[in-house]
Structure 1
Amino acid sequence: MEFLGTTQTASYCGPKKARGIGMLPPVVPARVTQECYQPYYPPGCPYPNSWRPSLSYKVSNTQTCLNKEATCRSALRPPSILPGDRSALFCRYSPHDWDQSNQLQIRAAEASRLWASRLMGDSMRLMQDKDQLTRQMQEGTCRNLGQRLSDIGFWKSELSYELERLLNENHSLDAVKRQLECAAEELNCPLQAALECLYQREKRIGIDLVHDNVEKNLIGEVDLLKCCQERMRKLAQRIDIQMRDNRDAQHALERDLEDKNSAEFIEEKCLNLRNTSNCISFFHGVEKIDGTISVPETWAKFSNDNIRHSQNMRANSIQLREEAQNLLDVLLDQMWKQFTNTNLAFSARIAEVTDVKNKLQVELAKTLQEIFQTENTIMLLERSILAKESPLKVAQTRLECRTRRPCVELCRDMPQFKLVNEVFTIDDTLQTLKLRLRETQDTLQLLFMTKCQLEHELAVKANTLHIDKEKCMGMRKTFPSTRCLRICP
């Protein structure tokens, strides 16, 4: 082993020679030079006093060496020693110095090993403590994520249940609204019949032009029908406003439920992450970013407020539906009583009504043809929009892949400009096509509404012809709008 601060030719680096009886002591030169020697010590180990070779050996043995030298000269003439050689023989250490140096090296090595052993033990304990702390923190985070998932699941079930009830209530309220609107429209036929009856009675000649009870009842029937229509329309407007409020509550619930689904997906993904997962990575500085906008109390209060608002809207809707049903019952009873009290005869201008009916049938046929062409146009637009989605996905995927280029490779080069331009162009194209699709769909809905209105008008005209031919000429024996009002969708 080679020691720092020493050379392999130093006298104390070789094996220690045994000293026995009869062996001559080593020849020590009369002049000993001092050599600086600094052994290696580990960090934290104090340096001992500076060690120097002992000079006492030279003083105590000088006379003995001179006597032995004289004896050797007498026995055998020694060779002549040059001054340079004599100086070289004097550069030696004593055995005591050699032993002391070895002891120092051994103590330094033991101190180094002791320090390294203590450091290794402390390091192992530190690693075990930190590993245990990391596992405990990770287990605690998993428990918190699991609790968070259970909380999200609870509010999801509450929101889903309330949303389902609100949708059912909206459907019922919409049915009542349509029933009121249809009932108000259906009243046009008996009102027109009453007005037509009054007009026909004005053609009476002579003494027959009498302001009798029949004419009074006809006038009362007209006023009652108009009042019923006005009340139904006002109630339908109130229902329409309530349906808007219900849709606002529905959208709030749907947005909250959608956010809960997204949060649940993210929390499940975070909960399923392990130390061996492939998708984990470093995100330096992410712990310093605080993008939260709520606390658990406000988070739960937000969903609770949405549910309470939806419950209030449902209560208002139920009240309006009950009011609408009561109104329909009362109005139907009043109109039936008025009709039974009037029992007037109607006369219809069959030719005029027939002509209007024929025109409506022609318009309905043209409207049906236009609806067919519009549906084909919508189908072509949807296919065109669907065909643009794949190129948009390709362009956006390329852009996303290019964002993972390392360091300076994130170059805003020509492909980057082309890809960005391609995404904007395709997106603009999709927006244009979607706008045109919405316009076409609105047009189709308008055509359907026109079709429904034409069909409704045709039904009214057919009913009018039926009343004019059979009921009016037969002096009205039944009230035809009663059944229509009760089963109107």
Structure 2
Amino acid sequence: MAQSDVLLTKQPAPQTVPACELPPKLYDVARNTGAHTSAGLATAGFRAAKYLVDEWFQNSYASYHQAFADRDQSERQRHESRQLAAETGALAQRTQEDSTRKVGERLQDMHCWKSELQREVGELVAETDLMLAQKQRLERALDATGVPFSIATDNLQCRERRQHPDLVRDYVEVELLKEAELIRNIQELLKRTIMQAVNQIRMNREHKELCEMNWCDKVEAYNIDETCARYNNQSTEVQFHPHSTKFEESASTPETWARFTQENLQRAERERLASFNLRGLIDGILRDTSEDLRLQCDSVNLAFGRRLEELEDARHKLEHHLNKTLREIADQEHNIAELKQAIRDKEVPLKVAQTRLYQRSQRPNVELCRDTAQFRLVSEVEELNRSLSALKEKLLEAEQSLRNLEDTRMSLEKDVAVKTNSIFIDSQKCMTRRAHYPTVLRLAGYQ
């Protein structure tokens, strides 16, 4: 191109450009015909409204190239897609078959554990029934001890109502206490054994329930897994569950799952063995306790006759001391009356002496003198106060002595009444009731 050609700068392309736009560049415009041509002056510094032919060809070539590249990429993607679909289909088939096989193995494991749990539940039911029979025998034996315990308790309660002079640990008391203690120990032993039986029955039932719950869970899981094992690609009830692959935090592992059932079975077997041993222990307890109760009953009856003679002798002695106490009470009351009169006799001289002192305290000025009369009056008041204090103290001692005598009298009267009542209880009530002592068979829980 000649130097007279005018170079114009390319203006920015408009907003609506072709899809395949070439990069902007500087290019030549139409050749000028002269130095001062009006066309060149009019277009100087402006972008032409049309592209050049070279630019049109470049744009077309770019479109061809882009179409070829897109077709090539599409063909590769179609080939890769078919290959991926085939691979994933085969992988899905293998994975599904493997999952079905695993579910089948799981079903076999659950079936084995179900059978073990069901067997253990049956054995626990049988053992629980035997323990219930032993518990009923214990309860009958415990009820049978109520009669001898009520006899011994009634005897002890009647004798315990005696006051201190009569509350002695005599022969009857010792034997009754032994009998009551023996019965209480036997009752406590039977109650503890019943509680052990109840707890054992409860433990048997709890472990039976645990095994049943475990069995029910396994039945439900077995049904679920059996349903899952029947699912295939032609099943109509399958659907999407996007979040089903998430593991629950409380989910167990195969090891913990098997260990849980195994531990349940082991605990159930231990409880069954403990129940068997407890039933043997109950037989020995009932045999020994029934024999001990009858032996102690004979020892108590022998002590009553000897004690009745001692009570009669003690009552006569108490009545003798009661008569002497009554005479002493009368003498002490007379002494108290004399002391009160002596106190009243000292009150008038004390008033006289205190009145003299009060009147002399009214003397005016220097006449208020501490003379001999004043000192004598003061000493007189002190002597009278000391005398009154001594008499009042002696009166208090006498009154206390009288109260003691009254307490002694009341105690003696009460002792006499209690001993009279004790004689009636020992001779009439106790010996009569002891004739209804239960037999050995009843105490052993067979009746």
TM-score (norm 2): 0.45
Q: Which has the higher contact order (CA 8 A, sep 6+)?
A: 2
Q: Of the two, which has the highest radius of gyration?
A: 2
TM-score (norm 1): 0.42
